[in-house]
Amino acid sequence: MNNQFKPFRAIRFSSQLSNPADVLAPPYDVISPDEQLALYQRHDANIVRLDFGLEYPSDTSDDNRYTRASIHLNGWLVEGILERDDTPSYYLYEHTYKADGQIKQLRGILGACKLFRFEEGVVLPHENTMPGPIQDRLELTKACEANLSPIYTLFDDANGEFFALTAGVWSSIPTADWTTDTGDRYRLWPVSESGILSRLYALLEQKKLLIADGHHRYTTALHYRDYCRERTLSSDPLSDYTLTFATPLQNDGLTIYPTHRVVFGLEQFDPAAFKTQLASFFDIAEVPTIAAFHQWAGGRSSKSIGVAIPGQSNLWALTLKPEMANHAVFPADASSVLKGLDVSILQYVILQGIFGFTFEDIRAQRGIRYLKSDAAVETALIDGSIQVAFVLEATRLDEMRDVCLAGEKMPQKSTYFYPKLITGLVINPVSPLETAVVMDIPKQ
């Protein structure tokens, strides 16, 4: 079964707007309440009013953030604030940013990806999802009949075909080009020439797509597709597709950070007894700081976990004993790659094995929080809100790929891809009453 990654007629903000940064926003799931209000105040047509609208005590079934998003979307189209492209296109996306003291460029392609169930093996997840965000995104998609932000996917391109094929586009003048106050630069190139469209389609048709970020949005799109099939009239409706960003795994612009875990609410938690339990499974070293743990762990071939407890001067640096790799705490059918990941070892050996968390406890975040930075962990250790913190290393791209291709899933929030794709640059209509683009692929 082949992938279908098609050009589409995007909805975009009018080029007459003075500053694209005024109307675009980060993805909804990384926006704090204060940032949400700031985006509202930045511009009357900021995309946050669609993607992450405010809720009010007076909201009803007929007047709520979903219905208001639909009214805004259609109103902005009538007013010319938003415009739909006349020609189906792919959209090449570039984000120049700074990470870990380096300047990087994230480059890839935006298109409409045909929806496949995960078990069909065309689009592959790498981690588990949580139910709450899916229902929220589904209601929004029903109201707007549009994808407001893309799925972030990766494909294997060891021969460099994608960048060779698009080299001429990257060197041309973009239709959108702006720099934010933080120095991040965004550029966008619509590509509508039939020859390059067909070659890009033919290339991507051969690729499996690995979801890097947006598992909830993709699962939402599957639910929306099934909802629409009851009222679909066209043979290949837009609702069978979802807005997707795709970039090669061999992209120097990719950055992955770990997501740390902190635990609270444990009854009668005794650090000394906990260390004794850990010693049954792990070799334990001590390091003075989180930074020292990262340096220590980075020089080892096997994965390690840092354990920090409030009031304790040193971290414990844990390395799973080799004889424990096949312990019964791991799922019987888990691959060696999955069992070797620090996020898996943490979940199966410590959270479920020692603490007794169930899968549903972890999925619902009962007694556990996820933190995206070392600084956030250090703050939590000081403010008294947690009992223990677990510091992780970033998952490698080859590890993520191998888990996906094995048909397995990592624990939720195993990776944090940075930077997030900006929301509102292109919007993908997903009406069930409109037919997707028909691609005429020349025979090779």
pLDDT of residue 94: 97
Banded model confidence at residue 130, pLDDT cuts 50, 70, 90: low
**Does residue 439 fall inside a structural domain?**
no
> Do 52 and 110 have their domain in common?
yes
The whole-angstrom separation of Cα 387 and Cα 365 is 15
pLDDT tens digits for range 353-410: 999 999 889 888 899 999 989 999 999 999 989 999 999 999 888 888 888 888 888 8
Name the percent of the chain lying above pLDDT 90.
74
Residue 129 pLDDT > 80: no
User: Has residue 100 been placed in a domain?
Assistant: yes
Of the residues 349, 378, 393, the one at which a domain ends: 393
360/271 same-domain check: yes
**Quick one: tokens of 201?**
């389609």
Pair (265, 180) in one structural domain: no
Whether 407 is covered by a domain: the verdict is no
> For residue 31, is it within any domain?
yes
pLDDT at 299: 72
pLDDT tens-digit series, residues 394-426: 988 888 888 888 888 888 888 889 999 999 999
Given a cut of 60, is residue 444 above it in pLDDT?
Answer: no
pLDDT tops 90 at residue 293: yes
d(CA 331, CA 338): 10
Looking at the structure, do residues 250 and 263 belong to the same domain, yes or no? Answer: no
pLDDT tens-digit map of 323-341: 888 887 888 888 888 888 9
Verify that 219 and 304 share a domain, yes or no.
no
pLDDT at 19: 84
Task: Give CA torsion, residues 328, 333, 338, 342, to 10 deg.
Answer: -20
Pairing of strands 209-213, 123-124: parallel
Give the per-residue pLDDT at 374. Answer: 94
Assess contact for 115 and 222: CB atoms under 8 A.
yes
The pLDDT value recorded for residue 300 is 76
309, 387 in Cβ contact below 8 A?
yes
Q: Cα angle at 396 between 32 and 291, to 5 degrees? A: 65
Residues 156 and 228 in one domain: yes
Residues 279 and 383 in one domain: yes
Q: Are residues 273 and 344 in the same domain?
A: yes
Residues 270 and 154 reside in one and the same domain: no
User: Are 269 and 161 members of one domain?
Assistant: no
**Residue 440 above 70 pLDDT?**
no
Q: How confident is the model at residue 233 (pLDDT cuts 50, 70, 90)?
A: low
- The model's pLDDT over 131-180, given as tens digits with 9 standing for 90+, comes to 667 889 999 999 999 999 999 999 999 999 999 999 999 999 999 999 98
242 within some domain = yes
Per-residue pLDDT at 1 exceeds 90: no
Alpha-carbon dihedral 157, 160, 164, 165, rounded to 10 degrees? -20
Domain containing 333 — which CATH number?
3.30.1760
The verdict on residue 440 lying in a domain is no
Average pLDDT, integer, range 65-85 = 97
Residue 42: pLDDT above 70? yes
Q: Name the pLDDT band for 241 (thresholds 50, 70, 90).
A: very high
Domain that holds residue 209: 5-255+419-429
Q: Are residues 353 and 381 in the same domain?
A: yes
Taking the C-alpha atoms of residue 181 and residue 157, their distance in angstroms, rounded to an integer, is 34
Q: What angle, 0 to 180 degrees and rounded to 10, lies between the N-to-C axes of helices 65-79 and 131-144?
A: 40
DSSP string, 64-115: SHHHHHHHHHHHHHHHTSEEE-SS-BEEEEEEEEEETTEEEEEEEEEEEEEP
